[in-house]
Amino acid sequence: MYKILLCLRYLRTRYIALASIISVMLGVATMIVVNSVMAGFSNEMRDRLHGFLADIVVEARSMDGIVDARRQMALVEDAAGEYIYAMTPVVEVPGMITYKDPITRETLTQPVTLVGIDPVGKSNVGPLRSCLDSYNPVLEGGVVVREALRGADEVLGWELTQTAAEYRKWRVEEDRQLLREEGLISPLEDPAGTPTTAPSEQPIPVPDFDDGPIEAPTELVESGAPGVDEAPDLNDVFNDRPAAQRDPSEPFAARVYLGEQITSYQTRDPKTGAISKVSFVHPGDDIILTTVQAATPPQPISINATVVDIFRSGMSEYDGNLVLMNIEQLQEQRGMIAEDGDAITSIQIKLHDYADAEIVEQKLKAAFPPGLVSVKTWEEKQGLLLSAVEVETAILNVLLFMIIAVAGFGILAIFFMIVVEKTRDIGILKSLGASSGGVMSIFLSYGLGLGIVGSAAGVGIGLLFVRYINEIEDVLSMLTGRKVFDQEVYLFKEIPTQTNISMVFWVALGAIAIAVLASVMPARRASRLHPVRALRYE
């Protein structure tokens, strides 16, 4: 009884103990906040990675793909049909994108991954609609600045939105105006689609492409004038088509959803710190895609394509790399269409329950001839990234636990001081018949008390912080006049958090254990004090 009474009294009257409580509290709170935010981020990241990859991907080992999508999918269906919710064929090849800076009119080329999809099928295996610009309102600082351009129930397809079509018309007109001003076409040579430039025997130098609209080379090609750099390739591209005159405001047959970060970048105003996005390509613009044909040796091909939409998954791995294209066009251009069935490079599969992934993976591996395809879950495909995040979290936890360990050493030092200060009281207690164990347990329970109070306060503060983290961020942003968490940078609307009850429990328990461990040494010292020497201690 006296142990508890004295322990409580010491807790209440020793203000120095408050220092240990605060250090334990801060350690616990930091660990909870950091873990929650890390878990939130990694969860969000997993969601996004997962979303775009589907649950399981069956991939051909060769870029040339495997023939007959329908037969392969039937094979998958036979092997593990009961687990599968949906699947879609995909053609995935590396390529390049060439687009034009609308201001300087320079052409820019970048490496990308071309992914041929069927939008409806793709949306069945993962979220697509929520990533496309035209289906979602545009927000700026939490205010809707543009409503969604398409209704949520509109079927996914490759049609331009009204806005994009109008933009395209305007763009074509602008380009023509520019050409006219530069004397490259005479006003009489209008309207659309007429060969605009020099005769074929006089190749147009590179800058001319730069100055012309992207359609221009195509038109040249269509009229059989290999006038520009890209002309030979483009010639190939459109060789198998009737060289009909086409309306430049009419989009190309190849349509793409363009990853947001491929053709845009962010700038930060050095004065205000505000971040703004600069986009080179908008829906309705044309681009050139370059890739290789499915043949040996692979022949480079270039494809004229019209951007239908911009997609934004939130993962820069995807947004800065993927160009989603209508699969039949990609197959056609790459020569993957054959009589015995169109070739594909992979099949994306969504399961009813991701828990079955391993079984399905095994079944599919067995179903396909060895060496032909690789079957991977999305986690295996993104294994490096995911394990990097895990390692990061683990290291962070170790470092943060050090903070609590430091708090433990603080407790140790403070307790030694308190034991010295209480030496005479220890003598008194012993003279009244208190055992050494009893004296020891006063200080052990004192440590326990400190740990419990510190942990409880830390858990409380940590959870409150996590709960109101976005409000706190708002206040901090207001005070500093600069966005602390800029959603433009992180691509999150708000700071994602996920609090794991067992994590909170272990953190609190760990902190309490450290507080008790730190008090063992001082408590033993107290219990070993000789009563007479303790009583004489001044």
> Judged by CB, which is closer to other proteins: 350, or 424?
424
Taking the complex as a whole, the smallest distance from the CB of residue 519 to other proteins amounts, in Å, to: 18
Nearer residue to other proteins within complex by CB, 93 or 418: 418
Interaction of residue 4 with other proteins, rule CB under 8 A = yes
Q: Which is nearer to other proteins, 16 or 138 (CB)?
A: 16
Q: Which CB, 267 or 431, lies closer to other proteins?
A: 431
Nearer to other proteins by Cβ, of 16 and 338: the residue is: 16
* Inter-residue contact 472 to 14 (CB < 8 Å): no
By the rule CB under 8 A, 206 interacts with other proteins: no
CB atoms within 10 A of CB 137: 12
Contact partners, residue 38, CB within 8 Å, separation at least 6: 392, 393, 396
Instruction: Name the 3-class secondary structure at 415.
Output: helix
**Structure token pair of residue 367:** 């179903």
325 lies in the site for other proteins, by CB under 8 A = no
Instruction: State the Cα–Cα distance between residues 211 and 209, nearest whole angstrom.
Output: 5
* Helical H segments across 288-326, by residue range: 316-319
Helix axes 501-528, 436-467, angle to 10 degrees: 150
Contact map string, positions 472 to 511, toward other proteins, x by CB under 8 A: ----------------------------------------
| 532 interacts with other proteins by CB under 8 A | yes
For position 420 contacting other proteins by CB under 8 A, the verdict is no
Of the residues 99, 351, 425, 514, which one makes contact with other proteins according to CB under 8 A: 425
Distance (Å, rounded) from C-alpha 30 to C-alpha 306? 50
202 vs 435, beta carbon nearer other proteins: 435
What are the CA-CA distances from residue 417 to residues 17, 420, 467, 536 (Å)?
10, 5, 38, 18
> For 271-282, what is the HEC assignment?
CCCCEEEEECCC
The verdict on 525 binding other proteins (CB under 8 A) reads no
Applying CB under 8 A, does 524 fall inside the site for other proteins? no
Q: What are phi and psi of 454, to 5 degrees?
A: -60, -45
Measured on CA atoms in the order 195, 200, 204, 209, is the torsion positive or negative?
Answer: positive
Tally Cβ neighbours within 10 Å of residue 400: 19
Residue 362 binds other proteins (CB under 8 A): no
Residue 427 binds to other proteins (criterion: CB under 8 A): yes
- Note the helical H segments in 339-468: 357-367, 378-381, 383-421, 423-431, 436-467
Which of 276, 431, 480, 500: binder of other proteins (CB under 8 A)? 431
Q: State how far the alpha carbon of 423 is from the alpha carbons of 240, 415, 430, 442, 536, in Å.
A: 99, 12, 11, 13, 9
CB of 432 to other proteins, least distance (A): 5
Query: Are 495 and 528 within 8 A, CB to CB?
Result: no
| Residue among 438, 460, 499, 520 that touches other proteins (CB under 8 A) | 438
In the bound state with other proteins, the residue whose beta carbon lies nearer, of 1 and 152, is 1
Q: H/E/C letters for each residue in 122-144?
A: HHHHCCCHHHEHHHCCEEECCEE
Task: Specify the residue, 291 or 445, whose C-beta has the smaller distance to other proteins.
Answer: 445
Reading the block at residue 11, the tokens are 């807790």
The CB-of-532 to other proteins minimum distance in angstroms stands at 5
Cβ contact 103:312 at 8 Å? no
How far from 257 is each of 247, 285, 286, 442, CA to CA, in Å?
22, 11, 12, 70
By CB under 8 A, is residue 15 in contact with other proteins?
no
The smaller minimum CB distance to other proteins, of residues 9 and 70, is found at 9
Q: Is 368 among the residues that bind other proteins (CB under 8 A)?
A: no
The answer to whether 459 and 33 have CB atoms below 8 angstroms apart is: no
Nearest distance from C-beta of residue 530 to other proteins, angstroms: 8
* Cα–Cα distance measured from residue 518 to residue 448, given in angstroms and rounded to the nearest whole number: 10
Our finding on whether 436 is near other proteins (CB under 8 A) is yes
Site string for other proteins, 33-52 (x = CB under 8 A): --------------------
| Residue 63 interacts with other proteins (CB under 8 A): yes or no | no
Q: Binder to other proteins among 253, 428, 484, 491 (CB under 8 A)?
A: 428
- Residue ranges in 93-112 that form contacts with other proteins under rule CB under 8 A: none
* Shortest distance (Å) from residue 426 CB to other proteins: 10
CA dist 191 and 446 (Å) reads 91
Pick the closer one to other proteins by CB: 222 or 425.
425
The residue within the footprint of other proteins, chosen from 46, 105, 424, 525 (CB under 8 A), is 424
| 429 part of the interface to other proteins, by CB under 8 A | yes
User: Do residues 93 and 111 lie in contact, with contact meaning Cβ atoms separated by under 8 Å?
Assistant: no
Considering the complex, state which of residue 30 and residue 445 has its C-beta at the smaller distance from other proteins: 445
Is the bond into 191 cis (omega within 30 degrees of 0)?
Answer: yes
| Beta carbon nearer to other proteins, 223 or 436 | 436
Minimal distance in Å, beta carbon 433 to other proteins? Answer: 3
Residues in the interface with other proteins (CB under 8 A) total: 25
The answer to the question of residue 18 lying near other proteins (CB under 8 A) is no
Which two tokens mark 378? Answer: 């999305």
Nearer to other proteins, 276 or 431 (CB): 431
Give the footprint of other proteins on this chain (CB under 8 A): 1-2, 4-6, 9-10, 13, 424-425, 427-436, 438, 530-532, 535
